[in-house]
Chains A and B, each alone.
Chain A
């Protein structure tokens, strides 16, 4: 059974960066298609970008191009999302999600709250 476990909550200042991790257990990590999805307070789900570790190349939503970097470390079965130039509107719960068995995100991390506040 695949499990995705994310790093803990973060509080950041505007203009800084945050890096959130998501460690996978079970399955063949290098073949998972991993994405990051966020939900700001009172808002819906927003796909930010993704990566397939075996391919090693991230792809990003246009809204986040230049500000988000998604990487994977196969030796640690971990995917990372780094978001820079943080602003208050980036306050959200960030989820990692894996497309593993079917065409859709069939596995999710527990979510990481990132709060951006001065």
Chain B
């Protein structure tokens, strides 16, 4: 089973900063199946990026995804106040579909 490890656990940044979040897989993945979500307290998670680099509908272009093989990155340029949340990567390939443990982006 694929294990996804996210780093860092917490990112302490300020509005306007750039955030770089890492997701490392225990084995090589097809980029087609790497997904990123944003999760805020009291809300359902929101799909940000699918296929490693494709933004979901309505997602601002300050969010971008990259990577291949075992190393994937979510970048948020110019953090807005509403971007402070927990971010998860997920392998959406053949079942099961595990999540990483999450990176909290805090002020």
Contacts and interface: CB of A to CB of B under 8 A. Distances in A.
Interface of A: 35, 37, 44-47, 50, 59, 61-62, 95, 97, 99, 102-106, 108-111
A35 B98 CA distance: 12
A44 B95 CA distance: 19
A85 B57 CA distance: 39
Given A47-B96, A105-B45, 20 more contacts: A44-B86, A44-B99, A44-B102, A45-B39, A47-B90, A47-B97, A47-B99, A61-B96, A61-B98, A62-B1, A99-B92, A102-B50, A102-B54, A103-B32, A103-B51, A104-B92, A105-B35, A105-B90, A106-B56, A108-B45
A59 B95 contact: yes
B102 A104 contact: no
